[in-house]
Structure 1
Amino acid sequence: MLEPSIDDLQTKIKSKYTLVTIAAKRARQIREEDKKVLVDDPKSNKYVGLALEEIMADKLHVKNDSN
C-alpha cells in the first residue's frame, strides 16, 4: 500500500501528472546529487517515497508561471 495515499497527495497537488513528474524529478535529485531529504524522520527507504513524503509535508510545491 502506498503511503501517503494518492488521495492525500492530491489535496496538495491536484494533477496526477504533475504529482508524478515532481516526485520523479525530486527522487532523481536525491539519488544522483545526494540531496538531503527535507522531512524529519522519513518513513520510506525509497527515493520516490521520500519525495512523496516531502510533498505531503509541504516541502515541495508547484511553481505557477502565470503571466
Structure 2
Amino acid sequence: MNQPSLDILMKKADSRYTLVVATAKRARQITAGESSKLKHISNKPVTIALHEIGNDLITYQRLKSSQNK
C-alpha cells in the first residue's frame, strides 16, 4: 500500500518537522503496543502512523515554549 501523499500530509501539519515528530511519536506508541486506529494496513509502525495522520485520526497540539526573558 502506498504512503499518503506528502501534499495531503502537509495539510495536517504546519511544517515538515512537525509532521516528522508527530509521525515518529505515534510510531513509537504503536511499537510499544498501543493499538492502531485503522484496520490492519501494514506491519510497519511508521506507515500506520502516516495513514492515521492522513485520515485525521491523529492530531497534535503545539505547547507554549518557555522562553527566558
State the TM bucket, normalised to the shorter chain: 0.7 to 0.9
- Indicate the structure (1 or 2) with the bigger Cα radius of gyration: 2
Matched-pair contact (CA < 8 Å) for 1:12–1:56: yes
- Taking the aligned partners of 2:45 and 2:11, their CA distance within structure 1 comes to 21
Match of 2:46 in 1: 48
State the 4+ residue runs in structure 1 displaced beyond 3 angstroms. Answer: none
Contact 1:42 1:53 in 2 (8 A): no
How large is the Cα RMSD of the aligned pairs?
1.8
SS at match of 1:62: coil
- Structure 1 position 62, deviation (Å): 1.8
Q: Deviations for 1:32-56, whole angstroms, at most 9, x for unmatched residues?
A: 2x111012x2433210010011101
Which ranges of structure 2 fall in alignment gaps of 5 or more residues?
Answer: 65-69
Q: How many residues are treated as equivalent by the alignment? A: 64
State the secondary structure of the residue aligned to 1:8.
helix
CA contact (8 A) 1:38 1:54 kept: yes
The residue type paired with residue 21 of structure 2 is T
Identity %: 41
Letter in 1 for 2:44: K
How does the TM-score come out when normalised to structure 1?
Answer: 0.80
